[in-house]
Amino acid sequence: MDDAALTALAASPWLVPALFALVVGDAFLVVLPSETAVVALGALHATTGSPPLALVVATAAAGAVCGDLLCYVIGRRVGLERWRWQREGRVGTALRKVEGTVRRRTAVLVFTARYVPFARIAVNLAAGAGRVPLGRYLPLSLGAGLAWAGFNVAVGGMVGAALPDRPLLATAVSIPVAIALGLAIDAVARLADRRRAA
């Protein structure tokens, strides 16, 4: 792919629906690179002017809220014990950590978990299972989704601004930057958990 192809992709009418689907899917399948895609689109906008930033932020936030809400509904209807993946592995461990505190610390957990893949699934499932009122949960999810989308677009925009007129290079550089930031946030969250436990 060259700069011209990337510029054409940035203007594609399929880009926004694809981004929405990717972010919704990432609510369940943490291997989907939604953060990376949002960062890359921020870099692409900074170098080509497309896609529109407001549209990227709104679409990413809407996808995040829809995905989180689906997890919330599953938690509310199914609980936290029905399937094996809820009892074992990283999701099971995360569920046990947040299950008892999600009603007391809903805002903190929803906002911080938005940046930590397995924690995000656990918090949203636990919020539903713990019967956190939807009227309280939904505005928090919306705020967290908007903050997450804005942060990732801004990171991509900074990379793109550093590499003007080079959309392919800016997009390529933004991907490892997004991955490194994600790993750093995950490490900080784990360290904070360990300190709270101690």
Section 54-72 average pLDDT:
95
Could you report the per-residue pLDDT of 84-123, keeping only the tens digit for each? 666 666 666 666 676 677 777 788 888 888 887 777 888 8
Give the model's confidence band at 69: pLDDT under 50 very low, under 70 low, under 90 confident, else very high.
very high
Tokens standing for residue 139: 């505005």
Q: What is the pLDDT of residue 150?
A: 92
Whether pTM > 0.85 for this model: the answer is no
- CA proximity to 72, closest of 8, 170, 141: 141
| Long-range Cβ contact pairs of 87-91 (< 8 A, separation 24 or more) | 90/118, 91/118, 91/121, 91/122
Section 80-85 average pLDDT:
65
Could you report the per-residue pLDDT of 168-196, keeping only the tens digit for each? 777 777 777 766 776 676 677 667 667 76
Question: Within a 10 A sphere around the Cβ of 131, how many other Cβ atoms?
Answer: 12
Q: What is the pLDDT of residue 193?
A: 63
Could you report the per-residue pLDDT of 134-162, keeping only the tens digit for each? 998 999 999 999 999 999 899 888 888 87
Q: What is the pLDDT of residue 94?
A: 65
Q: Which of 13-27, 38-52, 67-81, 121-135 has the highest mean pLDDT?
A: 13-27
Q: What is the pLDDT of residue 126?
A: 85
Instruction: Return the domain boundaries, the chain.
Output: 3-197
Burial class (CB in 10 A: 0-12, 13-18, 19+), 75: buried
